[in-house]
């Protein structure tokens, strides 16, 4: 039996934003075998255990592109929710209305109400910069999300941390885990990208599945797909890089 995963992908270009539902088997891909990825991940996990780090190492996918002109070709940006949480310690803050403030208090999530945001203000560049540095991602209630540009200016958007919508129909804890499972690819001026695809406390299969999902999605964003991929590496935070392509 083959199990197909369903993911919602958001692809951005300079002209439009496209949302695509992708059906794919995360353990099937061209160019690289799933066995090769799993073997490499297994070696990385073994190295991490032997090194006895005193913290949980992140597993990172590093990509070098080729045949891509960032001045002429469209710069892409896309995100995908992976099968397993990649960064369990990701710091998330919720810009919350009263109902979400109550929910956040119950589950121990960090939040700021609208009055706290007003105190920072749109012209307080230092305060906005400090806020952006304090958290890895933001969620926002619908009524507050619409006011973020007015309350905080363009600062969060410039650093790629504009809040994600949190509705009252969604379970807050589930939404937080969804954010912790989501990775983003964004091509800027250099042809190098890196994303977290797991951590050393996950199983070999969980990490390999995330790696393959990430690579398949990245390739789908590229103009010439695999012809734009120069090299692919996997590494842990403190470990050596392992080339898989």
At what angle are helices 172-181 and 98-107 packed, to 10 degrees? 80
Alpha-carbon span 94 to 173, nearest angstrom: 11
**Does a structural domain hold residue 84?**
no
Say if residue 96 is in the same domain as residue 35: no
**Does a structural domain hold residue 129?**
yes
* pLDDT for 26 beyond 80: no
Question: pLDDT tens for residues 191-236?
Answer: 999 999 999 999 999 999 999 999 999 999 998 899 999 999 999 9
pLDDT number for residue 173:
96
**Does a structural domain hold residue 53?**
yes
Report the pLDDT averaged over residues 73-91: 89
Say if residue 57 is in the same domain as residue 112: no
Say if residue 101 is in the same domain as residue 175: yes
Q: How confident is the model at residue 22 (pLDDT cuts 50, 70, 90)?
A: very low
Q: Which of 131, 148, 179 finishes a domain?
A: 179
Q: In what helix (H) or strand (E) does residue 101 lie, and over which residues does it extend?
A: helix 98-107
Q: Which of 154, 179, 204 finishes a domain?
A: 179
Report the pLDDT averaged over residues 102-114: 97
Say if residue 68 is in the same domain as residue 104: no
Say if residue 29 is in the same domain as residue 72: yes
pTM of the model: 0.79
Domain residues for the domain of 35 are 5-76+187-243
Q: Which of 128, 146, 179 finishes a domain?
A: 179
pLDDT number for residue 32:
87
* pLDDT for 16 beyond 50: no
Say if residue 197 is in the same domain as residue 131: no
Say if residue 197 is in the same domain as residue 164: no
Question: What's the CATH number where 115 sits?
Answer: 3.40.50.790
* Number of domains composing the chain: 2
Give the number of other Cβ atoms within 10 Å of residue 210's Cβ.
Answer: 28
* pLDDT for 27 beyond 90: no
Question: What's the CATH number where 60 sits?
Answer: 3.30.190.20
**Does a structural domain hold residue 220?**
yes
pLDDT number for residue 75:
80
**Does a structural domain hold residue 142?**
yes
**Does a structural domain hold residue 85?**
no
pLDDT number for residue 77:
84
**Does a structural domain hold residue 87?**
no
**Does a structural domain hold residue 83?**
no
Alpha-carbon span 52 to 49, nearest angstrom: 5
Mean model confidence pLDDT for the chain: 87
Pairing of strands 137-141, 92-95: parallel
pLDDT number for residue 107:
97
pLDDT number for residue 30:
64
Say if residue 108 is in the same domain as residue 171: yes
């Amino acid at each position: 039996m083959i199990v197909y995963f369903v993911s919602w992908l958001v692809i951005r270009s300079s002209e439009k934003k496209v949302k695509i539902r992708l059906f794919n088997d995360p353990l099937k891909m061209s160019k690289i075998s799933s066995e090769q990825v799993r073997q490499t991940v297994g070696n990385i996990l073994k190295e991490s255990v032997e090194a006895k780090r005193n913290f949980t190492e992140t597993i990172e996918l590093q990509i070098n592109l080729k045949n891509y002109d960032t001045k002429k070709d469209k710069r892409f940006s896309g995100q995908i929710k992976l099968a397993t949480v990649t960064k369990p310690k990701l710091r998330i803050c919720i810009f919350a209305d009263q109902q979400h403030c109550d929910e956040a208090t119950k589950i121990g999530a960090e939040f700021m109400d609208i009055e706290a945001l007003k105190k920072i203000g749109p012209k307080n560049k230092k305060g906005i910069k400090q806020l952006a540095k304090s958290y890895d991602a933001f969620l926002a209630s619908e009524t507050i999300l619409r006011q973020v540009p007015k309350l905080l200016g363009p600062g969060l958007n410039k650093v790629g941390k504009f809040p994600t919508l949190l509705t009252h129909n969604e379970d807050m804890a589930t939404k937080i885990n969804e954010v912790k499972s989501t990775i983003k690819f964004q091509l800027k001026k250099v042809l190098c990208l890196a994303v977290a695809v797991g951590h050393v406390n996950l199983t070999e299969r969980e990490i390999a599945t995330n790696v393959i999902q990430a690579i398949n999605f990245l390739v789908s964003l590229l103009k010439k797909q695999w012809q734009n991929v120069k090299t692919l590496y996997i590494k842990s935070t403190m470990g050596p890089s392992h080339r898989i392509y």
